[in-house]
Structure 1
Amino acid sequence: MTRLNETARTTAVPYELRRLGTIMSADPGDPLEAEGVLNPATAWGADGELYLYPRVVAAGNVSRIARARVTVVDGVPVGVERLGIVLSPDERWEHGRQNAGVEDPRITFLEPIGLHVMTYIAYGPLGPKPALAISRDTIDWQRLGPIHFAYQPELKTDLNLFPNKDIVFFPELVAGPDGRPSIALLHRPMWDLDWLRPGEGATTPAGIDDDRPSIWIGYVDLEDVRRDPAALTRVHGSSMIAAPEMGYETAKIGAGPAPLRVPEGWLLLHHGVSGAKPKGFELAHGSRYAAGAMLLDAEDPRRVIARSAEPLLAPETAEELHGTLGNVVFPTAIEQIGDRRFVFYGMADSSIGVAELTRLD
């Protein structure tokens, strides 16, 4: 299968990340944080304050999504004030008999519809499934339910059969496959079904011969969403745009924060995983998670026009090397404070770090 990004491109992505430190670590006195705080979303409140939405993990790997006010000193985020839980695995489809979780949120403010949209992963009886919640004030969140992928005959498969992670919306409208203004999102299907049916292996869509988890794009009809926000859960026109390629992403890749509009196009920070190959969606101890970047075409974000040959940020500090899952840098949010941009990322599935994103001259 020929991907739209299989055209002449460069590995020069003129951006870099500089780590600034740890912004949040688990509170040893809080049982809801017994196994770590990690992989946060962010959003600006109506009060002009920046809020962090970390995944907090209780004993037994039960995840919830919390809310915390970001403390900013001299224009730099340095800490948080905890404000409680905004989403728990309360729905039956968000937990099984021996597992539960609402995990790894990303939040995008979709200006065309005036809503903050949170994507998250519901760890239910059939593994990780992507789901959505919306908010007007960043305080109260209304579930829209699981994402449903429309059937595409050319793929000869049903994307809804497979676990899916790393879901994030573009903040602005883009041209859909039919050329109409559309809401776009990135997602990452996982084809290995051995966890559910031992011996089943990986069943990839027609024309896809690489079963490693890769970045896909899909679209939502704008007019449908304006009539009913629940239409955000109905995705069509999915296609793969980027597979593992570089040395730091030999096992899998996945989208990070919402793509950022920059002069060159759309800047997408992503995580690349090397080392031990994971089975299904399970964590792979011995893997290394690093943060990379790619540029997507401004007019057609299905096209990758540049890609970093080396990671922008790789595990180096004690917090990044040691934790629930060591050797992990996992970017999930970007925010601008003043004239500076900051990236929030998970550290070894245990803490949350912040790095500054700058453009190379």
Structure 2
Amino acid sequence: MPPKVKKHGVILEKTPHNFENEGVFNPAVIKEDDTVHIFYRAVRIGNYSSLGYCQLKGPLEVVKRNTSPIFFPTEDYEFQGTEDPRITKIEDTYYLTYSAYDGINVFGAYATSEDLKNFTREGILTPVFNYEEYSELIRENFEKISEKHLLFYELFVRYKLNELMKGKIYVWDKNVMFFPKKINGKFAVLHRLWPSIQIFYFEEKEDLSRAFWRDYVRNLHNHIVLRPRYHYECSHVGAGCPPIETEEGWLLIYHAVETTVKGLIYHASAALLDLENPGRMISKLKTPLFSPTEEYEKKGVVDNVVFPTGTAIFGEDLYIYYGAGDDCIAVASVKLKDLLNELKQESE
């Protein structure tokens, strides 16, 4: 059984400010001393997203909140949204990753900062292949993965959207995040080519050439970290919060999506990855860490959603910050030791 989780309720909701008058959710979180910095997805009417900023004293008390976005779309590839951020710090640099949405396609992009105030865009981090290119590449080792890797794109073919868009339908890549340290001298990055979680490594962004990605997608089975396995993740999974280094392994809080007759249900779950080789999963929970049970999780812009995207440790407690119902930001906590012990038992 998963350890006991305490839900602390909603800490952030939408406001009348025009950049966040439709919803605030899916926050990037980084803790420094007793301060928690939160960069959250702020949505204005019309589904245009930017990133808002607030600051917590301790795990729950909001003490500062900006009245304008701290990061917003400026490039064509993110025209309609800078969405669902995550943040990590490696040495003296902060790495803010986000989903760049142009109104049709979603790419994983990132920016860097030295002070959490000024961010420099570094561009798209994930592969840029249209559906036909992706389909051709991934089919080369199809028997080693799953047909589900193409089901997401059948809609484009069924309604001939790819023809209407003249090849401008690209493979979606979401839930991108850096590990908080380099692994064997390289950046390690989790991402999600639907429906599983994968990992890639690089030294310089220039290493991520078209040739690199062609080989990567051809051999995607070698890069999968977590696959949908249990009933509560039968639709797909996605990396949630940046991994946490522990003595037992990298702790990954992720979201898992269940298909039901009443629609999709988004759960939060946990897994352990090997410290030296985080592409190898040690264990994961057989049942969700927590699920939509509260009204603010069950009813929202999208119903039945808990979507974890950031964590902070205070004492013995791991606080998990998540989007609830694609509408607001809520917090849950769990004893870190209890969670690690449960994951250790799952691996035995």
Query: Shared fold (TM-score greater than 0.5)?
Result: yes
Are 2:226 and 1:242 aligned?
A: yes
Question: Would you say the 8 A contact 1:38–1:55 is kept in 2?
Answer: yes
Task: Summarize the Cα distance change of 1:232–1:125 in structure 2 as closer, same or farther, 3 Å threshold.
Answer: farther
| CA displacement at 1:91 relative to structure 2 | 1.3
Task: Summarize the Cα distance change of 1:275–1:105 in structure 2 as closer, same or farther, 3 Å threshold.
Answer: same
Aligned residues: 295
Per-residue CA deviations over 1:48-96 (Å, capped at 9, x if unaligned) read: 6321111011001101101111133xxx41335212311111212212x
> What is the alpha-carbon distance in structure 1 between the residues aligned to residue 294 and residue 74 of structure 2?
36
Give the counterpart of 1:137 among 115, 123, 126.
115
> What is the alpha-carbon distance in structure 2 between the residues aligned to residue 301 and residue 351 of structure 1?
31
> What is the alpha-carbon distance in structure 1 between the residues aligned to residue 289 and residue 237 of structure 2?
14
Are 2:49 and 1:66 aligned?
A: no
Which residue of the partner structure matches residue 32 of structure 1? 19
> TM-score, normalization: structure 2?
0.77
Which residue of the partner structure matches residue 296 of structure 1? 273
Which residue of the partner structure matches residue 195 of structure 1? none
| CA displacement at 1:243 relative to structure 2 | 1.2
Which residue of the partner structure matches residue 189 of structure 2? 185
Which residue of the partner structure matches residue 197 of structure 2? 215
| CA displacement at 1:142 relative to structure 2 | 0.9
Give the counterpart of 1:253 among 220, 237, 245.
237
Per-residue CA deviations over 1:15-57 (Å, capped at 9, x if unaligned) read: 5532122111112x22222221000002346x96321111011
Task: Summarize the Cα distance change of 1:66–1:150 in structure 2 as closer, same or farther, 3 Å threshold.
Answer: closer
Counterpart code for 1:144? E
Give the counterpart of 2:106 among 128, 151, 154.
128
Partner SS state of residue 232, structure 2: helix
Which residue of the partner structure matches residue 77 of structure 2? 93
Which residue of the partner structure matches residue 193 of structure 1? none
Partner SS state of residue 20, structure 1: strand
| CA displacement at 1:121 relative to structure 2 | 0.6
Give the counterpart of 2:82 among 102, 114, 122.
102
Task: Summarize the Cα distance change of 1:138–1:16 in structure 2 as closer, same or farther, 3 Å threshold.
Answer: farther
Are 2:161 and 1:173 aligned?
A: no
Per-residue CA deviations over 1:198-251 (Å, capped at 9, x if unaligned) read: xxxxxxxxxxxxxxx110001111xx3xxxxx5597676661121111111110
Task: Summarize the Cα distance change of 1:65–1:243 in structure 2 as closer, same or farther, 3 Å threshold.
Answer: same
Partner SS state of residue 31, structure 1: coil
> What is the alpha-carbon distance in structure 1 between the residues aligned to residue 81 and residue 208 of structure 2?
19
Question: Would you say the 8 A contact 2:48–2:81 is kept in 1?
Answer: yes
Higher share of residues assigned helix: 2
Give the counterpart of 1:50 among 36, 41, 44.
36
| CA displacement at 1:147 relative to structure 2 | 1.1
> TM-score, normalization: structure 1?
0.75
Task: Summarize the Cα distance change of 1:312–1:80 in structure 2 as closer, same or farther, 3 Å threshold.
Answer: farther
Counterpart code for 1:169? F
Task: Summarize the Cα distance change of 1:16–1:332 in structure 2 as closer, same or farther, 3 Å threshold.
Answer: farther
| CA displacement at 1:148 relative to structure 2 | 4.2
Question: Would you say the 8 A contact 1:145–1:233 is kept in 2?
Answer: no
> What is the alpha-carbon distance in structure 2 between the residues aligned to residue 132 and residue 24 of structure 1?
24
Question: Would you say the 8 A contact 1:265–1:298 is kept in 2?
Answer: yes
Give the counterpart of 2:137 among 152, 156, 159.
156
Which residue of the partner structure matches residue 281 of structure 1? none
Question: Would you say the 8 A contact 2:128–2:170 is kept in 1?
Answer: no
> What is the alpha-carbon distance in structure 2 between the residues aligned to residue 342 and residue 80 of structure 1?
18
Task: Summarize the Cα distance change of 1:243–1:110 in structure 2 as closer, same or farther, 3 Å threshold.
Answer: same
Are 2:318 and 1:341 aligned?
A: yes
Worse overlay, 56-65 or 118-127: 118-127
> What is the alpha-carbon distance in structure 1 between the residues aligned to residue 31 and residue 233 of structure 2?
32
Counterpart code for 1:92? D
Task: Summarize the Cα distance change of 1:126–1:69 in structure 2 as closer, same or farther, 3 Å threshold.
Answer: same
> What is the alpha-carbon distance in structure 2 between the residues aligned to residue 101 and residue 324 of structure 1?
17
Task: Summarize the Cα distance change of 1:347–1:80 in structure 2 as closer, same or farther, 3 Å threshold.
Answer: farther
> What is the alpha-carbon distance in structure 2 between the residues aligned to residue 215 and residue 314 of structure 1?
20
Which residue of the partner structure matches residue 254 of structure 2? 270
Question: Would you say the 8 A contact 1:292–1:311 is kept in 2?
Answer: yes
Which residue of the partner structure matches residue 22 of structure 1? 10
User: Aligned-pair RMSD on alpha carbons?
Assistant: 2.8
Higher share of residues assigned strand: 1
Instruction: List runs of 5+ in structure 2 lacking aligned partners.
Output: 140-148, 150-168, 342-348
Give the counterpart of 1:77 among 44, 60, 66.
60
Per-residue CA deviations over 1:299-357 (Å, capped at 9, x if unaligned) read: 21111111101101100011111110010011000112345331111100001111113
Question: Would you say the 8 A contact 2:307–2:322 is kept in 1?
Answer: yes
